[in-house]
Structure 1
Amino acid sequence: MPLPRMEAETWSREPTVPWPGDAGSASPSPDALRVLNGSGEEEEETSPPFLTDAWLVPVFYALIMLLGLVGNALVIYVISRHRQMRTATNFYIANLATTDIIFLVCCVPFTATLYPLPSWVFGDFMCKFVNYLQQVTVQATCITLMAMSVDRCYATLYPLQSLRYRTPQVAMAVSIAIWIGSFILSLPMAVYHRTEVGYWYGLRTYCIEAFTSKSQERCFILYTFLAVYLLPLLTICLCYSIILKRIGRPVVEPVDHDYQQVQHLSERSAAMRARISKMVVVIVLLFTICWGPIQFYLLFQGFYLHFKANYEAYKIKTWANCMSYANSSLNPIVYAFMGDSFRKSFKKAFPFLFRQRIQDNGGHSGFHNAEMKFVTEQT
């Protein structure tokens, strides 16, 4: 089963026609191989076609790397530099940024070379290592998103009781456990990946998944779909639904039936609910849109009996992979810089970027900070 972020066929340049098929199983094509003509002389090998995605996709990946590395590095820098930012939730955000940086540095460059190059040129060890590390980061990212959702939900439902358990030390321990679990659960990607030689405009080296049976492959596809997409998505939706329902009710009871106080609390709850609802919609949509296409494609590819790997399928798969890759550069924006505490700490770290916006809105700023803490920077 190919990875959610990178798939076996994209280890090689797919042609318009014919589709090379699985490495080692494709028959030599007369146009793709050097053959002997009637006089015994060797004919010239036809060069692979240079498609638009051979330069367009690497450029897109380079942009993702630039934005992702800068954004995630700033997240880690702000958290480590400012003591008040070292909260339980922010430790999960830092862990999320770490998984994205590891993926961007160790995996994306190898993926980008697959489009201009016709073969996998990095050897058998890197074939196993890159695929394994991709699965580890995907697994760690999704489990971290689940942990963040549960953490925020727990803090919203039990604000006082959660102070005992929602500490940076606990968040660090949970993050370490997430990494250990991800390393263990991702071992099949290292075991079943290997390089093989196939034919496409000559002999080419492919990095492929070689499961022992189709049922084994389908089991791993189904496991990945459930573990890194459906379960995290349902958990995020459930937790934030509970949060929105909880913040819709006043936390403080009015004193002496003060109707003006009741109205004020009602208006404040409505405003808070509207602001947080916008962020929740962004969170759910980002996760669904970025991860959905590649996950459903892999599910369709593995379980649809009449699936045909043609160039149209390759283009859909390339687009779906680009969507999942983009998630690594968008995470810092949604999970960090949409919160006021991150923005203010960022302004303190880089004041020369915000000289035109020194004035504060006073009470409105404090009110907005209190609202966003329900979702982003709870202590």
Structure 2
Amino acid sequence: MEEQDNDLVLSLGANTHKCSLKTNQTESTPCWSGAMSSGPEVVIVPVLFGLIFLLGMVGNTLVLVVLGRLRPGGRPSRSATNIFILNLSIADFSFLLFCVPFQATIYSLPEWIFGAFFCKWVHYLAMATMLVSIFTLVAMSVDRYIAVVHAKRSSCIRSKRNAALGVGIIWLLSLLIAIPVAQHQALVSGHQQAPNSSFCWEHWTDGSTAKQTYKVTILVVGYLLPLALITCCYAKVGERAVSRVQTVEKGILRLLTAQTVLLVVAVFLLSWLPHHIITMWAEFGQFPLNNISFTFRIISHCLAYGNSCINPIIYAFLSENFRKACRQVFTCKFFLPPVPAEKLVRIRMENFSTTHSTTNV
């Protein structure tokens, strides 16, 4: 019963930030007692999520429009890099679509109102698209590693066919890994603290061991391993890029490369770290439900969603080629002003593909 209470209070969002996990104790505050309160988070959180949703949708839609636009010669651009960026935007777009609106209602409403079908499939698709986004980031880092470190053999490895095959494998693995979410996500009603309300939470009938195993698997496969691969790939890319330039420019380029690599790793690290901390804390400890932990949970949501907003900026808009394509698609001269020609070092860094944002549009 205590495990179900834990799931309940973690699924209620804003409604349980003043509750105790041990609801079976007489001295504990009933979890439902905070559910009917209308604090400022009922308005602030949906507004904040709405801004993140709008920014992410606009950014990813812009990437989809630019990459999907035909070239002047009549052929669409489908390089390996563009295929990965296109897939990343689709995944981020879908993740925001299936996460943000529904999570906002959890913070605003006292119960789940979308029925049993959406309870399963919204959470399943959210997990699947999250994994697709993360796996695509790994694939893009490997793609940059091959392009720079193994440049002589990169033309045959980094083909459009292999990129499309990689995207297919990414989606297949993500959909398979997310199956337990659909199996164990259920619409539950009749809880002792809220007998007339329905909630959407994970219900693992096989016991806590299976649930903990799955959560640890997601941590390793969806965070620790991707973080290690992204860090290693871009560290090698930066090292090789610096070794190719003349001594006069090496100091400046080394600084720019280090900043770029640190930005890539830091964004991924910080975006998902709070989410996994809360997940592990709730599974292997007792996650406290108070104002501080409530704020921490909101921050974790914002950072996770913000990763899907900032990806278009890091992976597309920092590329000179992508900015040129934007100016071709959107003819307004004031949109995305051209980079001054005197910034030679930065352009040379892009030519060496030291960042994953290079696109051959």
TM-score interval w.r.t. the shorter chain? 0.7 to 0.9
Give the aligned residue type for 1:140: V
Name the counterpart of 2:15: 14
Q: 2:117 — aligned with what?
A: 125
Q: Report if the CA contact (8 A) 1:103-1:134 is conserved.
A: yes
Number of aligned pairs? 344
Q: Which runs of structure 2 are paired with 1:296-307 in the superposition (5 Å)?
A: 296-304=277-285, 306-307=286-287
Q: Secondary structure at the match of 1:163?
A: helix
Compared with structure 1, are the counterparts of its residues 87 and 344 closer, same or farther at alpha carbon in structure 2 (3 Å cutoff)?
same
Contact 1:64 1:325 in 2 (8 A): yes
Q: 1:355 to 1:234 in 2, by over 3 A?
A: closer
Pair 1:88–1:16, CA change in 2 (3 A): closer
Residue 159 of structure 1: aligned partner: 151
- Per-residue deviation, 1:339: 1.1
Note if 1:54 corresponds to 2:38.
no
1:46–1:69 CA distance, 2 compared to 1 (3 A) = closer
Pairing partner for 1:76 from 59, 64, 68:
64
Distance change (3 Å), C-alpha of 1:332 and 1:125: same
Give the conservation status (yes or no) of the 8 Å contact 2:234–2:261: yes
Residue 321 of structure 1 aligns with which residue?
A: 301
Amino acid at match of 2:203: A
Judge conservation of contact 1:58–1:112 (CA < 8 Å) in 2: yes
Taking structure 2 as the reference length, what is the TM-score of the superposition?
A: 0.86
Give per-residue Cα distances to partners, 1:51-92, cap 9 Å, x unaligned. 111111111111111111110111111112254853211211
8 Å Cα contact 1:196-1:205 kept in structure 2: yes
* TM-score between both structures, scaled by the size of structure 1: 0.82
Partner Cα separation in structure 2 for residue 268 and residue 196 of structure 1: 63
Q: Which residue of structure 2 lines up, in the alignment, with residue 371 of structure 1?
A: 349
Determine which structure has greater relative contact order: mean sequence separation of CA pairs < 8 Å that are 6+ residues apart, divided by chain length: 1
Residues 325-336 of structure 1: pairs in structure 2 closer than 5 A = 325-336=305-316
- Equivalent in the alignment of 1:103: 95
Q: Partners in 2 of 1:9 and 1:355 — Cα distance?
A: 44
C-alpha distance in 2 between matches for 1:101 and 1:356:
22
Q: Distance in 2 between matches of 1:310 and 1:81?
A: 49
Q: How does 1:186-225 map to 2 (within 5 A)?
A: 186-197=178-189, 198-200=191-193, 203-211=196-204, 212-225=206-219
In the other structure, the counterpart of 1:338 is 318
Matched, 1:294 2:275: yes
Partner of 1:49, secondary structure, is coil
* Partner Cα separation in structure 1 for residue 219 and residue 335 of structure 2: 47
Deviations 1:119-142 (A, max 9, x none): 001111111101100110111111
Cα deviation code 1:341-376 (max 9, x no counterpart):
111111222231427946x644x3565333214123
Q: Which has the higher helix share?
A: 2
CA contact (8 A) 2:20 2:31 kept: no
- 1:319-357 Cα deviation digits (max 9, x unpaired): 212211111111101111011111111122223142794
CA-CA distance at 1:250 after TM superposition: 2.5
2:260 corresponds to 1:279: yes
Contact 1:47/1:201 (<8 A) preserved: no
**Equivalent position amino acid for 1:150 in 2:** V
CA distance in 2, matches of 1:50, 1:221: 32
Please identify the structure whose Cα radius of gyration is greater: 1
Q: Which amino acid aligns with 1:14?
A: N
| Conserved? CA contact 2:327–2:336, under 8 Å | no
Given that residues 15 and 37 in structure 2 are in contact (C-alpha distance below 8 angstroms), is that contact kept between their aligned partners in structure 1? no
Gaps of 5+ in 1: 1-5, 34-44, 252-264
User: More deviation in 269-278 or 315-324?
Assistant: 269-278
Q: Distance in 2 between matches of 1:17 and 1:11?
A: 11
Q: 1:7 to 1:133 in 2, by over 3 A?
A: farther
- Residue 312 of structure 1, CA deviation: 3.6
| 1:145 CA displacement | 0.8
What is the rounded CA distance, in whole Å, between the counterparts of 1:281 and 1:30 in structure 2?
44
Which runs of structure 2 are paired with 1:232-247 in the superposition (5 Å)?
232-247=226-241
The partner residue of 2:224 within 222, 225, 230 is: 230
Secondary structure of the 2:187 match is strand
Q: Per-residue deviation at 1:111?
A: 1.3
Q: 1:248 to 1:121 in 2, by over 3 A?
A: same
Whether 2:128 is the aligned partner of 1:136: answer yes
The 3 A distance-change label for structure 1 pair 78 and 118 is same
State the superposition RMSD in angstroms.
2.9
